[in-house]
Structure 1
Amino acid sequence: MSHTRLRTGVPRTPNKETDDSMLSQDLPQRTAPYRGTGPATGRLATVLSLVGAAFILFVGVGYLVAPQSMADSFGLPAAPDGPAAGFLNVKGVRDTVTGLIILALLAARQRQALGIATLTIALIPVGDMTTIFIRHGSTSTALGVHGLTAVMVAATGVLLLRETRSRAAVTVG
């Protein structure tokens, strides 16, 4: 007895009486994409990813090249100096690598992985904002820089995931 496979990969025994009526069941169902997930959404997600990568690379390189001048804009009440200033370089490395990860995933066309990574990366400015609040730094910098950054990065991650999810939902028969 010969078996055929449904498109789901499950073996099926052919049955002449029911095969004609089951043809429509064998075909994948077309699912409408999520609202707002057309090509424009993909382009917007790409642009936001590129802008975010460029911004965080600029900040990261700034912390590597001129850490003391960058530290004042972070929002903490005092910048580390002397041997403790090495922590500013750590931030520079973190931010530079974050930007490179975004660019690498974009270049590899790994949009779902980029969406997941971007949502995870959004936790970094949340942590920075929280640190500023705990250390009694600038509330306006905490909210206006780090809070807004967290929202924008998370929104970019959501756009990327909605885009990849809508591509997976639209099945061509």
Structure 2
Amino acid sequence: MSLKKVNTILAVAIVLFTLYLGLSFVLPLGTTFPGLPDWPGDGSGFPVIKGSREIAMGLAMGVLLVTGHRRALGWVLLMMAVAPFGDMVNVLAHHGSAAAAFAVHGLTAALIAVTGALVLRETA
């Protein structure tokens, strides 16, 4: 299998999961995620803000993928890896589960960054 095909499969998976995650925060799907055991129940708007961010990230990556702008996609993937890294730091700073922070958010950031680097390597 070619590097381009592997990169495309990884990028599609990242885009679809990011959109699913965003919709899970915005729509009442009753889903909970590791590292965030209790949803803020005070009407803080946290789920909508986080969901909107995830949806915007998924759409940005998806548009670049669909339009074939592979080099820009690689750079955007590298940039988007900052969001789950920031989530990891946030979970750790607020005394959340270190295992969930590193296993969920840390690995997600690493996967997105590696995919971005692979796409950039493919287009070099």
State how far apart, in whole Å, the 1-side matches of 2:122 and 2:116 are: 10
Q: CA deviation at 1:152?
A: 0.4
- Give the SS at the match of 1:82: coil
State how far apart, in whole Å, the 1-side matches of 2:25 and 2:98 are: 22
Q: Does 1:56 align with 2:18?
A: yes
Which segments of 5 or more consecutive residues in structure 1 lack a partner in the other structure?
1-38, 166-173
Q: CA deviation at 1:138?
A: 1.2
Counterpart residue type for residue 81 of structure 1 = G
Query: Considering only aligned residues, what root-mean-square deviation do their CA atoms show, in Å?
Result: 1.5
Q: CA deviation at 1:103?
A: 1.0
Q: CA deviation at 1:140?
A: 1.5
Is the contact made by 1:77 and 1:138 (CA closer than 8 Å) also made in structure 2?
A: no
Q: 1:27-46: CA deviations, max 9, x gaps? A: xxxxxxxxxxxx71111111
- Give the SS at the match of 1:88: helix
Q: Does 1:79 align with 2:39?
A: yes
Which segments of 5 or more consecutive residues in structure 2 lack a partner in the other structure?
none
Q: 1:16-36: CA deviations, max 9, x gaps? A: xxxxxxxxxxxxxxxxxxxxx
- Give the SS at the match of 1:75: coil
State how far apart, in whole Å, the 2-side matches of 1:51 and 1:99 are: 10
State how far apart, in whole Å, the 1-side matches of 2:8 and 2:65 are: 8
State how far apart, in whole Å, the 2-side matches of 1:54 and 1:123 are: 18
- Structure-to-structure mapping, 1:46-125, within 5 angstroms: 46-66=8-28, 69-70=30-31, 72-76=32-36, 78-84=38-44, 86-125=45-84
- Give the SS at the match of 1:73: coil
- In our comparison, the structure showing a higher alpha carbon Rg is 1
Is the contact made by 1:117 and 1:157 (CA closer than 8 Å) also made in structure 2?
A: yes
Is the contact made by 1:77 and 1:135 (CA closer than 8 Å) also made in structure 2?
A: no
Q: Does 1:144 align with 2:103?
A: yes
Matched with 1:16 is none
State how far apart, in whole Å, the 2-side matches of 1:137 and 1:56 are: 22
Q: Structure 1 length normalisation: TM-score?
A: 0.68
